[in-house]
Structures are given as structure tokens and as C-alpha cells.
Structure 1
Amino acid sequence: MSVNEQIPDYELDEMVVVTAPEQLRALADPLRGTLLELLLERAATITEMARAVDRPKSTVDYHVNLLVEVGLARVVRTRRVRAIEERYFGRVARTIYVGALHRAEDKQVVASLNGLAQAAAEAAPANAADDLRCTLVHARIPIEEVRSFWAEVQEVARRFAQIPRSGDQVYGFVAGLYPTDAPTLPEGAGDSPG
């Protein structure tokens, strides 16, 4: 991929770890989440984002400024248009990772950030149109393997987000890794090595 095709079109960190209550509250708002997703595509002005989400510029300006205030977005460049300095905003990092939480109220906020629930709602029309690609697999594996596998999934998500933008349809990619109560087989007589 050439420099001209970099997604997004500005420099940003690979990951930021979020633990501050004000950052968690900012992420919990669906509009702010959508704005951050738009900025993963390219830097944008308030006017461009307002047009994309079909909301008033004043509303988008409020939410973007809040994201800047809590350190999740920033001005990445400016451009002079007539007598006005136009600001282009971008994310601070490609991946926003919610770190270890200690306060009960922070954990409640994070519970509302359930990407799987949002993906299920977004996927319903695709499911009805028989245009949903999905898989669900269970595996009994040690926690070290969970961490290693999740790092690979995050790399796939980064690659997905880096695909150059084109076409008329936006696609979602969701992945989840979670403990379950799925049944397991007991160790069998034929399970010993050798």
C-alpha cells in the first residue's frame, strides 16, 4: 500500500488504552462512536461529519469537541477557506482498548459498549436478506491461547479497517471472544498421548 493509500489519511497511534471515566462515558454515546468510526476512514471536518450522520453541525461540533477534550480525537490538519480556518479531525489511535476497570460505575458504562449487541442489531436486515456471513465456534483452550488468538483477531480487524475505501456499501466486521457454559467432554481413555 502506498503512502497515498494510507487509511486513514493521517498519522495515528496503533492503540490507546482507555480507563478514565470521562473517556468511557464519551465512548458510551452511539453518535460519538459513529463519529470515531468515520474518522477511521479519513480526517474530516465538522461539516463533512454532520452531513454523513445527517445531524446538525452544532450537535456534531459538541460531540467532536468532547472527544477532543477527553483525548480520543484531535485536530490533524487545518486549511484556510476564505477567511476561516477549517479544522480536520482524526482519532488519536486506530484501536481504542478499554483497559482494566476498578469502579463499578465504569464497568456498567463498558457493559453498554457491547459491540456484539450493536452488530446483531445492524446484521438483522442482512440476515433477513440472506446476506450475512457469520460463524460461531466453541473451543476449550487455556487462557494463554485466548490471548494469543485475540491478538491475531485484532490484527485481522486492523487489516479490515485498512482496506482502501470504494464501493457503495459499508460492511461491518465483528469478533467476540468470551467464556461460556458450553459443555465439554470428559477426558477419554483414548486421549493419552502415544
Structure 2
Amino acid sequence: MWETERRPPDGTAEDTPDEQGHLVLRSPEQSKALGYPLRHRMVNLLRQRPATLRRLADALGMGKGTIGHHVRVPREAGLVRLTGTRRVRGGTEQYFALVSSGLRVHQDATVGPGFLVRAALGEMLPGRRDEPSHTALRHLWLTADEARALEARWRALSDEAHPANSMRGEPYGLLSSLFRADVPSLPPEDEH
């Protein structure tokens, strides 16, 4: 799960998971590591289970050397870790995993919600008639209290555990954002 937060700063260190066990992203190095589409796709693969460079390369249709280079960046940023090794035919395979099951973008990070929108657009496949799909932009006129209540309801829904499991079905993305919209208002009508 990816999420941006707009909560008061909690003093959590950038490499310390939050209350849901999500790694809170703050540093420019972490933003750089996730800002490249190939690395973002690798992170999505590693959400499923630890993998070797060869398995990542096969899944992404790329060379092992290219994948090795791109694994290094999120590893140096503290997002990916080495979880084990295995001897194979005169060599050693390394298994890599995410350091956390979910990632949350801190409100003070150099990237914000736009990062998630770009990530969703990069993952979005063209829809087919037989697949469920719905995209809409809706504007709601809410009071601040109503907006806070809606945010709390959506947070509760989005915080439900839903582990990545390729044996269970196909991946679907759900991007939701509650934001102050730059929509002008008409002045009240003259009563003539």
C-alpha cells in the first residue's frame, strides 16, 4: 500500500515504521529511488515476496545487470534489504525484500500526492470491456468537519490488510484522494 499523509509530524525517524508498520518516506534519496518507473515496478514485485535479481529480471523482461543496478538505488535508500543467499552452480543468489509491507509518504517529503498519481498512471492498463474499471473525478462541497469525517472513513477502509498475492487473483489499483480543489465559485445571483 502506498499512501501520503497529512498528519501533524510525529517525530518518527524516517527508517522507523509507523503504527501500521509502514515505512514513512521522507528523504530525497527515497523519493529518487521510487520516482523511476522501473524501480517502482520492482517494489511492486517485492511486495509479493522476496526475489532474486534473476526472478526480478525475468518478471520485468530486462537484463540481470540492469536490474542489479536498479535494486541498488532503493537498497541504498533503505527501502530494500538483502534477506538471504543461496549457493547455486558455482555462484550465489541473493534474495531481496522490502523493509516494510507498506510505504507512506510523509507530509514534509520532497514528493507529495502527485507522486502517487504518477505512479497510478504508470500502472494503469488500458481497460477492456470484460474487466471492472471505473475512473471519475467528483467535486464535493463539504465543511471542514465533513471533510475530516470522510478522510477518517476512507483511512479506515484503506488501512485494511490486503497482502499482495498473485495466486489469489489479478492486481487492481485503487487511487483515491481527498483534496482541496481549485474550483471557483459563482457569486450569489442578483435577486431581480
**Are 1:177 and 2:178 counterparts?**
yes
Contact 1:28–1:112 under 8 Å retained in 2: no
SS in 1 for 2:38: helix
For 1:31-180, list aligned pairs within 5 A.
Answer: 31-101=38-108, 106-107=110-111, 110=112, 113=115, 115-120=116-121, 122-123=123-124, 125-126=126-127, 129=129, 131-134=131-134, 136=136, 138-139=139-140, 140-141=142-143, 142=145, 144-156=148-160, 158-159=161-162, 162=163, 164-166=165-167, 169-180=170-181
User: What is the CA deviation profile of residues 55-95 of structure 1, one whole-angstrom value per residue up to 9, with x for unaligned ones?
Assistant: 11111101101111110000122222133221111111122
Q: Give ranges in structure 1 of 5+ residues lacking alignment.
A: 1-12, 185-194
Return the offset for 1:148.
Answer: 1.7
Alpha-carbon distance between aligned partners in 2 of 1:130 and 1:63, rounded to the nearest angstrom: 35
Q: TM-score, normalised by structure 2?
A: 0.70
Opposite residue 129 of structure 2, the aligned amino acid is: A
Write 1 or 2 for the structure with the bigger share of helix. Answer: 1
Opposite residue 41 of structure 2, the aligned amino acid is: T
**Percent of matched pairs sharing the same residue:** 28
Q: TM-score, normalised by structure 1?
A: 0.69
Q: Give ranges in structure 2 of 5+ residues lacking alignment.
A: 1-16, 186-192
Alpha-carbon distance between aligned partners in 2 of 1:100 and 1:119, rounded to the nearest angstrom: 19
Match of 1:17 in 2: 24
- Quick one: structure 1 residues 164 and 26, their matched pair in 2 at CA, closer, same or farther if it must change by over 3 Å? closer
Return the offset for 1:45.
Answer: 0.4
